[in-house]
Amino acid sequence: MAFDIVKYTRASDAVGWGDLDFDEFERNPLPQHTLRSLRYMCDVEYHTVCYLRDMLTTPSHKEPEIAAFMTMWNREEFWHGEALAAVLERHDIHVDYSALKAKRLKLGFKDRLDPIKQSFGSNLIGLDFAAVHMAWGAANEWSANAAYHRLAALEGSEHPVLAELLKRIAQQETKHVAFYATQARERLAKSKKARVIARFALRKFWGPVGSTIAEPDEVKHVMGHLFQGSEGRKLVRGIDTHIARLPGLDGLMIVENSLEARGITAEDLEPTPEPAAA
By the criterion CB under 5 A, which residues form the site for Fe ion? 45, 77, 80, 141, 173, 176
- Least Cβ distance, residue 177 to Fe ion (angstroms): 8
Nearer to Fe ion, 51 or 129 (CB): 51
CB atoms within 10 A of CB 111: 19
Please give the Cα distance from 242 to 246 (Å, whole number): 7
Please give the Cα distance from 220 to 244 (Å, whole number): 24
* Helices and strands (DSSP H and E) totals, the chain: 12, 0
Nearer to Fe ion, 14 or 127 (CB): 14
Please give the Cα distance from 144 to 80 (Å, whole number): 11
Nearer to Fe ion, 82 or 260 (CB): 82
- Least Cβ distance, residue 173 to Fe ion (angstroms): 5
Nearer to Fe ion, 45 or 128 (CB): 45
- Least Cβ distance, residue 250 to Fe ion (angstroms): 25
Nearer to Fe ion, 77 or 111 (CB): 77
Chain centroid to CA 163: 18
CB atoms within 10 A of CB 221: 17
Among candidate residues 271, 191, 192, 206, the one with its CA nearest the CA of residue 243: 206
- Least Cβ distance, residue 274 to Fe ion (angstroms): 27
- Least Cβ distance, residue 161 to Fe ion (angstroms): 18
- Least Cβ distance, residue 183 to Fe ion (angstroms): 14
| Burial per residue of 153-188, b for 16 or more beta-carbon CB atoms within 10 angstroms, e otherwise | ebbeeebebbbbbbebbbebbebbbbbbbbbbbebb
Please give the Cα distance from 214 to 219 (Å, whole number): 6
- Least Cβ distance, residue 176 to Fe ion (angstroms): 4
| Burial per residue of 25-60, b for 16 or more beta-carbon CB atoms within 10 angstroms, e otherwise | beeeebeebbbbbbbbbbbbbbbbbbbbeebeebbb
Nearer to Fe ion, 111 or 173 (CB): 173
Nearer to Fe ion, 155 or 173 (CB): 173
